A = this chain, B = another copy of it.
Amino acid sequence: MDPSQVDVPPLKDLTIDNITDNVKLINSGCPDPRLKYLLERLVQHMHDFARETRLSHNEWMTAIQFLTSVGQICTDVRQEFILLSDILGLSLLVDSIDHPKPASSTEGTVLGPFHTHDAPPEPNGTQIAHDPAGEPCLVLCTVKDTEGKPIEGVKIDIWETDSSGKYDVQYEGREAPDQRAVMTSDAEGIFWFKAIVPVPYPIPNDGPVGKLLTLLKRHCYRPSHMHFMMEKEGFDHLITALYLRGDPYETSDAVFGVKESLLIDLGKVSAGQAKTYGVKEGGKLMSYDFVLVSEKESRELREKNAMYAMKDLGLRMKLYNGLPIPEVD
């Protein structure tokens, strides 16, 4: 940016009391009204935080070093910033705001840091988990719309840990995805596959986020669950998971993901199912009927909720690409 091209308000002698307005002023040249609003609120909250806590230079430096270490431990297959967002409840909050679900549809929950983009597309019936120590589990699900009609061709991303509570990416030398697949629902909205019974596991606790949890005297466990991410044009993207009822961490998930509507009891494979799906009779069965909301309904609900929340906060806003910005600049 050539400085001669930039209209800068005179900034000098900034103090505890006037720096916030001045930083907002210099950022207000941002041509994107949404980014401008995000920065305006970010600066206000960061500065208010420092003023309310009388943040010391040592604490600031500790935070700088902490954030640096969070960034530096990230790799292609480890996302410590998502983990940090998860344990601070931000991830669940953002999902709740961005993907409001009408009562008739399946609720969302945290994405978590372990989704990858390399899971292979698989046909119904695939064995997605290859850990011989895992307890076999037949997964038999449907995807329907809010009127009960089956949805064909939904892309369903599935991921779970092995029997020791680790995702494939947590092993060194991972060569190919395991305990992962991308399924597609058939004409009846059915998708089914062979997996293993999910187990509780600690989120990665050998990094800065694990250290923070220890300082906060919080445990790092997640209750047993299997992740599902569903995508089809015309429907709201659903990031969710199914949780096993009765898990020791059912009410203390380190990342706040559990919802009553996503808790399930595992069933038993019947003789007929055993024959139909080629699995052992009496084995574990996970079944669930997912309900997707249309993109239109979700967008309308999101925008209605946004405007209602803005009004509730006393803010005069309008929507820009579906997201709030100040009505008057």
Contact = CB atoms under 8 A, between A and B. Distances in A.
29 contacts: A3-B248, A3-B252, A8-B251, A11-B251, A11-B252, A12-B259, A14-B256, A16-B96, A19-B256, A26-B218, A27-B218, A35-B216, A39-B216, A41-B49, A46-B88, A47-B90, A50-B90, A52-B313, A54-B324, A56-B97, A57-B99, A59-B323, A60-B85, A64-B85, A67-B81, A68-B71, A71-B71, A71-B74, A72-B74
Contact of A46 (B27, B39, B90, B213): B90
Most chain-B Cβ atoms within 10 A of its Cβ — which of A12, A39, A49, A323?
A12
A213 B1 contact: yes
B258 A11 contact: yes
A77 interface: no
A67 B67 contact: yes
A172 interface: no
Interface residues of A, number: 96
Given A3-B248, A29-B217, A81-B64, A45 B43 contact: no
A97 B54 contact: yes
A32 interface: yes
A219 B2 contact: yes
A85 B67 CA distance: 11
Contacts of A96: 15-16, 19
Interface in A61-86: 64, 67-72, 74, 79, 81-82, 85
A11 B74 contact: no
Contacts of A250: 12
Contact of A22 (B35, B52, B221, B256): B256
A176 interface: no
B82 A74 contact: no
A215 interface: yes
Nearest to A263: B12
The 7 closest A-B pairs by CB, nearest first: A71-B71, A3-B219, A23-B89, A10-B251, A8-B252, A45-B45, A29-B217
Contacts of A213: 1
Interface string A95-123: 11111000000000000000000000000
Interface string A301-321: 010011001100101000000
A286 interface: no
Contacts of A30: 215-217
B315 A52 contact: yes
A220 interface: yes
Contacts of A98: 54-57, 60
A55 B305 CA distance: 13
A95 B218 contact: no
Contacts of A1: 213-214, 217-220
A11 to B, nearest CB: 6
